[in-house]
Amino acid sequence: MHLINLSINRIIIHQIFQRKADGSVVLPVQSHEFTKFSSSAMETFKSRVTDALGEGSRAVQMEIVSKGPSHLPSLIDNMVGQDDKNFSVSSFDIATKLTTAQQMKSIPGGIVVIFSGTYGAASKKFLGIIKAEIHSGYEKEVSKTTKEISLKFVEEVLLTPSNKLYKTAGFFERSKYDKKTNDLNKKWLVMVSDYQISVTDGKAAAKYFYQSFLGCGYPQTSAKTTKEFYEATSEFIADMDVSDEKKTDLFNALSTYLKVDTSSTISPDDFGGKYFDLNTQDAYTSYIEDCGLPTTAFTKDLAHIESKLKLRKISFSSNVKITAPLDKFKNLIVIEEIEGDLTEAGEPAQWTKVIVKDRIVHQE
Amino acid sequence: MKEDKFKEKWISEKPIYKAWGEFILETITNELKNRGKNLEVFLKVPPICRLKQDDSLIDKAFYRPDKNYSDPYKEIEDKIGIRFVVLLLEDIKEIENILKESDYWEFDPCKHFEIDKKNEPLLFTYQSVHFILRPKNSLSFAGVVIPPATPCEVQVRTLLQHAHAELTHDAIYKAKKAVKPEVHRTVAKSMALIETTDTFFGEVVEYLNHGPVKEYEILERLNGMYELFVDIKPCTHKSSLYLWEEFEQLASIELPEDIQKFLDKYPSLKDVIRSRYSSNILYQQSVILFLYWMLKNKRKRLLKDWPFQRTLLEQMAGDLGISIRD
């Protein structure tokens, strides 16, 4: 899905609030008028949306799990075709749903922006939801008389470029689907951009947004995509014009990135940015896209590659250790028990003959 | 012919010579413009036709001890002359080609410094290129009929050759009294240096232009692609050249093809470029296609080395649905 040709024709906002200290709900405040942006305000808003959901962003694709008529995905499916009056009413339903989903007292309130329009060469429909946190900030002022600059405190600012402070969800009408289908997943493609998803243990914290509120879940295909990512990246590293030692380091980096990194999402952009030089990063991004992998982030699921990532280790009493990835161990290492020199007791010692079907690339 | 008859003939035929000179001048300058030359930059001295002064013509015809004309009127071929002064030796060749390729005139090279160098390799003196042009057929221009025998002398020189000629020609070669040997020697030395410098100029230009962008004719090919894709003729400003220099290493012979494949995937970019054409000068140049391609395929490199304001890149990224925020 390419987020080109983005055109937004309806925007409406409501305000939602953090729960009270006792956990009770504070009702959201409704707007009845649509927001009208000037052209530069609209350009900036579109740029926030593209930053959050576009190619190279941290957005992940999700699938619709809650398909009932009272759930959000069904509500959105109906909304896109509604007239302005009904759209406005439905948008407040969305704000109410989010208020309900924010069960933990620690989750802040903010402004909910609901917007719809078209995207893509064929001008397909889409609907977006942004939950933007409100923070204080400063505004630059220039004195009319002295021309001196000063800072004015602004109590409530939102939607600055820092995309840690807003969550975005986009429901995009797919370009091809059976019009008679009842399966919402076949009609809609969902992208969610939430910084929380990628932090340590963030999955649980982010659940209120993508699961309780949006009615979505991690795609079933995550394991497949993760495996494809692993294989494509391994192939790329193997073909790189660098020393074998460097390749070993990069393979280790890939394993670490998948196994140890606490983020629940994988981003090829992120991996490339950490481990490759600039020119290689660009080549890697193109390669990954050519392999059919997503150009945004995607959710991590190691189910299919667990065995590849495991390490098999054999230790000897003398602190000699041999480690190798599990699947290579069987093929590359031959271990045989042999009889060694005679010990003091006159018995042959138990030795082990190890044959490694490979050459040395690195010694320390 | 006697002097008074000579003068009569000359005065009556002056309009013919003038018309012929002006025709040649117009034809050559139009052809230079067709070949994409900016005349104000390409020609270092404004080219004008000069009718020989009546007195100096008569003087040359009848009062030169070293010249023995049997038919001075016919034999003096520079009664009308045009001079083109250009910067580089290769520019002289360009004008020479125009002169050779025209169907309007017969062309007679009566002096060329390359031939002079071969004939007299040890001599450093006045260098220039002279041609005599005569109409192939009788033609009409500015209400005047020009017969086929009418000669016009066209001189082509580099700026340095011209400086030398200006200094020496009247002073030295037309001086009545003998000039001291030291003066001749100094003039010869200066011509030797001028010839050397003209060659250096050519080398510098060659060196500056050398590079993959020139070698693979990327700018020209992209200009063609832009015109086909956007349906408007592209411009070229310094900003293009600046960008090409910055991202020169990405130029390869396959680049235009790769860009075309990219454009085939994103045909809606055509409308975006058209809508921004009048508000942003970068969109008027074919380099915008390269920039869009880089945003998709060489994003990190582009972001790192982008020399202009970032807001422009953000706008372009938005057009492609690409996030460039970290």
ipTM over 0.85: no
Find where tokens 């001079």 sit: B83
Find where tokens 């009308």 sit: B80
Query: Are the C-beta atoms of residues A254 and A45 closer than 8 Å to each other?
Result: no
Q: Does B303 touch chain A (CB under 8 A)?
A: no
User: Cα distance from A356 to chain B (closest Cα, Å)?
Assistant: 41
Query: Are the C-beta atoms of residues A198 and A265 closer than 8 Å to each other?
Result: yes
Contacts of A5 (CB under 8 A, 6+ apart): A118, A119, A120, A121, A123, B268
Classified as helix, coil or strand, B266 is coil
Vertex A49 angle, CA A44 and A54, to 5°:
125
- State the Cα–Cα distance between residues B263 and B283, nearest whole angstrom: 15
User: Cα distance from B103 to chain A (closest Cα, Å)?
Assistant: 52
Segment holding B36, helix H or strand E: none
pLDDT of residue B64: 78
User: Cα distance from A297 to chain B (closest Cα, Å)?
Assistant: 12
User: Cα distance from B275 to chain A (closest Cα, Å)?
Assistant: 13
- State the Cα–Cα distance between residues A13 and A28, nearest whole angstrom: 11
Task: Encode chain A in three state secondary structure.
Answer: CCCCCCEEEEEEEEEECCCCCCCCCCCCECCCCCCCCCHHHHHHHHHHHHHHHCECCCCEEEEECCCCCCCHHHHHHHHCCCCHHHHHHHHHHHHHHHHHHCCCCCCCCEEEEEEEEEECCCCEEEEEEEEECCEEEEEEEECCCCCCEEEEEEEEECCCCCCCCEEEEEEEECCCCCCCCCCHHHHEEEEEECHHHHCCCHHHHHHHHHHHHCCEECCCCHHHHHHHHHHHHHHHHHHCCCCHHHHHHHHHHHHHHHHCCCCCEECHHHHHHHHCCHHHHHHHHHHHHHCCCCCCEEECCCCCCHHHHCEEEEECCCCCEEEEEHHHHHHHEEEEEEEEEECCCCCEEEEEEEEECCCCCCCC
pLDDT of residue B176: 57
- State the Cα–Cα distance between residues A52 and A167, nearest whole angstrom: 8
Contact B321 A50 (CB under 8 A): yes
Q: Does B37 touch chain A (CB under 8 A)?
A: no
Q: How far is CA A10 from CA A88, A128, B307, in A?
A: 10, 10, 36
Buried b (16+ CB within 10 A) or exposed e, B4-28: eebbeebeeeeebbbbbbbbbbebb
Contact A279 B319 (CB under 8 A): no
pLDDT of residue B174: 61
Find where tokens 């959710």 sit: A299
pLDDT (tens place) for every residue of chain B, 326 residues total: 788 888 888 899 999 999 999 999 999 999 998 887 888 989 999 998 899 888 888 888 888 777 778 888 888 888 999 999 999 988 999 999 999 998 899 888 887 878 888 888 887 777 788 899 999 999 999 899 999 889 999 999 999 989 888 888 766 656 656 778 888 888 889 889 988 998 898 888 887 777 777 778 888 899 999 999 999 888 888 888 889 888 988 888 889 999 999 999 888 899 889 988 888 889 999 999 999 999 999 999 999 999 888 888 888 888 888 988 76
In chain A, residues 177-236 whose CB comes closer than 8 Å to chain B: none
Q: Does B325 touch chain A (CB under 8 A)?
A: yes
Contact A4 B314 (CB under 8 A): no
Q: Is the pTM of this model over 0.80?
A: no
Q: Does B267 touch chain A (CB under 8 A)?
A: yes
Which two three-digit tokens encode residue A289?
């896209």
pLDDT higher than 80, residue A204: no
Chain B residues touching residue A163 (CB < 8 angstroms): 325
Find where tokens 């820092």 sit: A162
Q: Does B315 touch chain A (CB under 8 A)?
A: yes
* CB-count exposure of residue A337 (10 Å: 0-12, 13-18, 19+): exposed
A170-180 pLDDT per residue, tens? 999 998 888 88
Closest residue in A to B304 (Cα) is A278
Which neighbouring-strand residues pair with A141?
A: A150
- Kindly state the DSSP code that residue B253 receives in the 8-state scheme: T
Continuous H helices in chain B: 3-34, 39-42, 54-62, 72-75, 89-101, 113-119, 159-168, 181-209, 212-215, 218-230, 238-246, 255-265, 269-276, 287-297, 299-305, 310-320
Chain B residues touching residue A121 (CB < 8 angstroms): 267-268
C-alpha distance across the termini of chain A, in Å: 47
C-alpha distance across the termini of chain B, in Å: 90
Classified as helix, coil or strand, B67 is coil
pLDDT of residue A336: 82
- The shortest CB-CB distance from A282 to any of B298, B321, B324 is to B298
pLDDT of residue B169: 72
* CB-count exposure of residue B125 (10 Å: 0-12, 13-18, 19+): middle
Closest residue in B to A286 (Cα) is B297
* A263 residue type, one letter: S
- The shortest CB-CB distance from B320 to any of A4, A46, A278 is to A4
Query: Are the C-beta atoms of residues A11 and A34 closer than 8 Å to each other?
Result: yes
A318-340 pLDDT per residue, tens? 888 888 876 677 678 888 888 88
Percent of chain A at pLDDT > 70 equals: 98
Chain A residues touching residue B321 (CB < 8 angstroms): 2-4, 6, 50, 54-55, 119
Tell me phi and psi for residue B151, to 5 degrees. -90, 150
Closest residue in B to A55 (Cα) is B322
- pLDDT band of A209, cuts 50, 70, 90: very high
Count of positions (residues) in chain A: 364
User: Cα distance from B233 to chain A (closest Cα, Å)?
Assistant: 24
- pLDDT band of A164, cuts 50, 70, 90: confident
pLDDT of residue B171: 67
Query: Are the C-beta atoms of residues A264 and A197 closer than 8 Å to each other?
Result: yes
Q: Does B324 touch chain A (CB under 8 A)?
A: yes
Tell me which long-range contacts B199-204 makes (C-beta under 8 A, separation of at least 24): B199/B89, B201/B87, B201/B88, B201/B89, B201/B158, B201/B160, B202/B88, B202/B89, B202/B90
Chain B residues touching residue A56 (CB < 8 angstroms): 299, 322-324
Closest residue in B to A123 (Cα) is B268
- State the Cα–Cα distance between residues B132 and B207, nearest whole angstrom: 34
Given CA atoms B300, B304, B306, B312 in this order, what sign does their dihedral have? Answer: positive
pLDDT higher than 80, residue A250: yes
Count of positions (residues) in chain B: 326
Contacts of A159 (CB under 8 A, 6+ apart): A45, A48, A130, A132, A166
Percent of chain A at pLDDT > 90 equals: 46
- State the Cα–Cα distance between residues A91 and A346, nearest whole angstrom: 88
Contact A47 B318 (CB under 8 A): yes
